[in-house]
Amino acid sequence: MPLLVMKFGGTSVANTDRIRRAAKRVGREVANGYDVIVIVSAMSGETNKLVGYVEETSQLYDAREYDAVVSSGEQVTAGLMALTLQEMDVPARSWQGWQVPLRTTNAHAAARIVEIPTENIMAKFAEGMKVAVVAGFQGIGPDGRITTLGRGGSDTTAVAFAAAFEAERCDIYTDVDGVYTTDPRITSKARKLEKVAFEEMLELASLGAKVLQTRSVELAMRYNVRLRVLSSFEEQSDEAGTLICAEEDIVESKAVNGVAASREEAKMTLISVADRPGIAAAIFGPLSEAGVNVDMIVQNISEEGRTDMTFSCPINQVARAEKALNDVKEKGGLNFREIVADTDVAKISVVGIGMRSQSGVAAKMFKTLSDEGINIKVIATSEIKISVLIDRKYTELAVQALHDAFELEKA
């Protein structure tokens, strides 16, 4: 029997009516002859609420207990989806991560998938179950405790199941009908892309485009999973949505294929650290151990023998970063005058595999921002992307200006 993986995001299961709508889509695929593994997120807003409870209780929380709390949202949705399918006379059963079992590392709140044994679920399919509804975002660590895969981890769960079960395809249902050149809520000129290369999608996902989680795209690329992004709210053909595929499947690509924006950024600067070999390791080693996700890094020249080190990180990790660096300073492993955190910045990025063969992208980007009176604080580049930090109040203006400058509304 062919197998299909269908993942429904939070907006697609935001209430019981939407769960029924999603269940009808699943029922149609069962009627088409598929066994189906459904991966569900928590209801829209539920995870944020649960995270809020944790942060109210403790800013420097125990990540194991964080996982115990925030994983509960997906469990509720899985149960409701299974009940809805049963009411439709579709044989369905809900599965929590530990019941599969989806085995992970013990990096709580940011665990990685180690193994997904297929025996338990396949045995139930053989007994007549048609749909396995799996709580996304969660697994079980080596210590037997619940783990979570990081925000957006249900996407990763879905792609990992598609790879493990050799599914015919993996469909990601969300509140948009595909991947757009930028956030359609920022500019009405945003255009849906028919195809996006894995590498482009990786960059867009890591730079603020929230259609897919980065690790889900990595897995799809590694295991050649046929991955589509579709809308939960529109009737569509088998060719609808956006296909995430290999670069060689795209005949020609523009220099820039998308503009991404992330408002959840902070710029942190260590003022007056020693300018000596090993100073970067002394700074970023403790940050890594504390679970701080550092992105852009700039070392500035200041007075003789001293330097300033600037980096960006998610805004919700600022307190963690400050504590890690101050702890090292107190132990004598690092000396600096002060830490300055700017939590009012945004990261704007342009992405395109066409940058490899076409020049002038950086010049056009910087001139466009300059013409709009937008100052650039930090710049970082890779082979297919350019990112800048700017004042957060200019986020929409920057995205709209860059989208126009690179004529992304044109196919």
Is 30 inside any structural domain?
Answer: yes
Is 316 inside any structural domain?
Answer: no
Find out whether 87 is annotated in a ligand binding site. no
Of all residues in the chain, the percent with pLDDT exceeding 70 is 97
**Which residue type occupies 341?**
A
Is 406 inside any structural domain?
Answer: no
Cα gap 28→39, rounded to integer Å: 16
Find out whether 165 is annotated in a ligand binding site. no
Structure tokens at 119: 């025996």
Residues paired with 310 in a beta bridge? 269, 298
Q: What is the pLDDT of residues 128-161, one digit of tens each?
A: 999 999 999 999 999 999 999 988 899 999 999 9
Find out whether 210 is annotated in a ligand binding site. yes
Is 376 inside any structural domain?
Answer: no
Find out whether 368 is annotated in a ligand binding site. no
Asked if residue 399 has pLDDT above 80, the reply is yes
Is 49 inside any structural domain?
Answer: yes
Is residue 13 within 8 A of residue 41, CB to CB? The reply is yes
Find out whether 394 is annotated in a ligand binding site. no
Q: What is the pLDDT of residue 208?
A: 65
Structure tokens at 225: 């999973």
Find out whether 174 is annotated in a ligand binding site. yes
Is residue 51 within 8 A of residue 73, CB to CB? The reply is no
Find out whether 47 is annotated in a ligand binding site. yes
CATH number at residue 125: 3.40.1160.10
Cα gap 333→283, rounded to integer Å: 9
Count of domains observed in the chain: 1
Find out whether 152 is annotated in a ligand binding site. no
**406 closest CA partner among 187, 195, 177, 247:** 187
Q: Would you tell me how many other CB atoms lie within 10 Å of the CB of residue 330?
A: 9
- Structural domain boundaries enclosing 85: 3-175
Backbone region of residue 43 per phi and psi (left: phi > 0; alpha: psi in -120 to 50; beta: other values): beta
Find out whether 7 is annotated in a ligand binding site. yes
Is 350 inside any structural domain?
Answer: no
Is 57 inside any structural domain?
Answer: yes
Structure tokens at 3: 């197998």
Find out whether 175 is annotated in a ligand binding site. yes
Find out whether 238 is annotated in a ligand binding site. no
Q: What is the pLDDT of residues 157-187, one digit of tens each?
A: 999 999 999 999 999 998 888 899 998 889 9
Cα gap 148→77, rounded to integer Å: 16
Find out whether 9 is annotated in a ligand binding site. yes
- State the pTM of this model: 0.76
Is 130 inside any structural domain?
Answer: yes
Cα gap 104→269, rounded to integer Å: 34
Burial (CB count within 10 angstroms: exposed 0-12, middle 13-18, buried 19+), residue 357: exposed
Q: What is the pLDDT of residue 36?
A: 98
3-8 vs 170-174, strand pairing mode: parallel
Q: What is the pLDDT of residues 258-315, one digit of tens each?
A: 999 999 999 999 999 988 889 999 999 999 999 999 989 998 876 677 899 999 999 9
